């Protein structure tokens, strides 16, 4: 029994790999270059190149569980469908899909993959996390260090920030559980914050003024286009920001207990514990 972590060099893949390795569970990870960190077996896999789809089984014929991550490819289904079909033909009996809190089955992007897993009827578990706390060490790393600002089009909307560690714990449980739950879970952290409140937290922890630059939805979309994200995907991200400003994340956070998983790690602790990241002198 081996687990395949697609995009296993990414933030969630690496956190899940660590848990599987610690539990002595065989695993294979993928990256486009076919190179990844030790001690993992890494194979070349490129979503837009179906010739790479069977590579993982050449390294380990016992792969029977797959963790699916979609990079910023807006229309994933032309790639995900043939891969899932092949994986089932190769003996995969369980898929754990990383989707998003705001995407229900049948919606855009990973919502379509979610729907396909339901249609095929294969065992599956779908993670629907909110925004990651670690985004502040990645996407906002430079803007905090160099411009003393974070930016969003979320207005005064609150987000129940979740840590990648909490998400990975749930993914690990879904991948290794005896019985597959065949459901999806909203995945949140324990505290809700607006970007204004987060700017205040940074100001307090770093001892210098950090501001929240409030962008319009159109400005946010354009910012992501300049980062190299496709116009369609930038539009999707901007529409999610707008939905936050309309209270969607807070509403989802208040869903009944059986629909959600609330992790332990707090955004405020993440900022305090990692403050060296944003200190410049």
Ligand X SMILES: NC(=O)c1ccc[n+]([C@@H]2O[C@H](COP(=O)([O-])OP(=O)(O)OC[C@H]3O[C@@H](n4cnc5c(N)ncnc54)[C@H](OP(=O)(O)O)[C@@H]3O)[C@@H](O)[C@H]2O)c1
Q: Is the dihedral of CA 139, 16, 128, 103 positive or negative?
A: positive
The neighbour count for residue 163, using CB atoms within 10 Å, is 23
Residues 202-241 that bind ligand X (CB under 6 A): none
Distance CA(130)–CA(253), nearest Å, equals 9
What is the x/- site pattern for ligand X, positions 2-41, by CB under 6 A?
-----x-xxxxx-----------------xxx--------
Distance CA(174)–CA(168), nearest Å, equals 10
CB of 6 to ligand X, least distance (A): 7
By CB under 6 A, tell whether 188 contacts ligand X.
no
Q: In the complex with ligand X, which residue's Cβ is closer, 247 or 280? A: 247
Segment lying near ligand X (by CB under 6 A), choices 42-50, 56-64, 111-119, 217-225:
42-50
Q: In the complex with ligand X, which residue's Cβ is closer, 48 or 279? A: 48
Helices assigned H by DSSP within the chain:
11-22, 55-59, 77-89, 110-120, 135-138, 141-147, 164-176, 195-206, 217-226, 231-245, 248-253, 267-273
Which residue in 98, 186, 238, 240 binds ligand X (CB under 6 A)?
Answer: 98
Distance CA(207)–CA(196), nearest Å, equals 16
Q: In the complex with ligand X, which residue's Cβ is closer, 26 or 71? A: 71
Distance CA(82)–CA(224), nearest Å, equals 29
Segment lying near ligand X (by CB under 6 A), choices 84-92, 112-120, 127-135, 151-159:
127-135
Which residue in 116, 125, 131, 140 binds ligand X (CB under 6 A)?
Answer: 131
Q: How far is CA 201 from the centre of its chain?
A: 24
CB of 120 to ligand X, least distance (A): 20
CB of 73 to ligand X, least distance (A): 6
Task: Give the DSSP H or E segment for 187.
Answer: strand 183-188
Q: In the complex with ligand X, which residue's Cβ is closer, 2 or 42? A: 42
By CB under 6 A, tell whether 69 contacts ligand X.
yes
Kindly determine how many residues on this chain lie close enough to bind ligand X according to the rule CB under 6 A: 22
Q: How far is CA 179 from the centre of its chain?
A: 24
Distance CA(123)–CA(96), nearest Å, equals 9
Chain residues in the site for ligand X (CB under 6 A): 7, 9-13, 31-33, 45-48, 69-71, 98, 100, 129, 131-132, 135
């Amino acid at each position: 029994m081996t687990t395949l972590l697609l995009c296993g060099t990414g933030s969630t893949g690496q956190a899940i790999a660590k848990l599987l390795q610690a539990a002595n569970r065989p695993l294979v990870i993928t990256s486009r270059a076919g190179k990844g960190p030790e001690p993992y077996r890494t194979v070349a896999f490129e979503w837009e190149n179906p010739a790479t789809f069977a590579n993982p089984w050449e390294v380990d014929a016992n792969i029977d569980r797959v963790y699916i991550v979609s990079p910023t490819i807006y229309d994933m289904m032309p790639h995900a469908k043939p891969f899932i079909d092949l994986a089932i033909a190769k003996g995969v009996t369980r898929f754990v899909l990383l989707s998003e809190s705001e995407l229900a089955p049948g919606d855009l992007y990973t919502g379509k993959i979610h729907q396909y897993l339901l249609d095929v009827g294969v065992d599956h578990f779908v993670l629907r996390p909110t925004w990651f706390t670690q985004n502040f060490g990645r996407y906002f790393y430079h803007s905090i260090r160099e411009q003393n600002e974070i930016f969003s089009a979320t207005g005064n909307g609150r987000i129940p920030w979740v840590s990648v560690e909490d998400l990975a714990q749930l993914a690990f449980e879904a991948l290794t559980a005896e019985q597959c739950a065949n459901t999806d879970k909203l995945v949140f952290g324990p505290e809700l914050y607006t970007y204004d409140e987060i700017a205040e937290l940074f100001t307090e922890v770093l001892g210098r003024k950090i501001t929240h630059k409030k962008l319009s939805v159109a400005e946010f979309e354009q910012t992501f286009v300049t980062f190299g994200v496709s116009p369609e995907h930038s539009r999707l991200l901007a529409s999610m920001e707008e939905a936050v400003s309309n209270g969607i994340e807070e509403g989802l956070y208040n869903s009944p207990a059986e629909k959600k998983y609330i992790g332990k790690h707090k955004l405020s602790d993440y900022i305090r514990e990692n403050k060296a990241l944003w200190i410049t002198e």
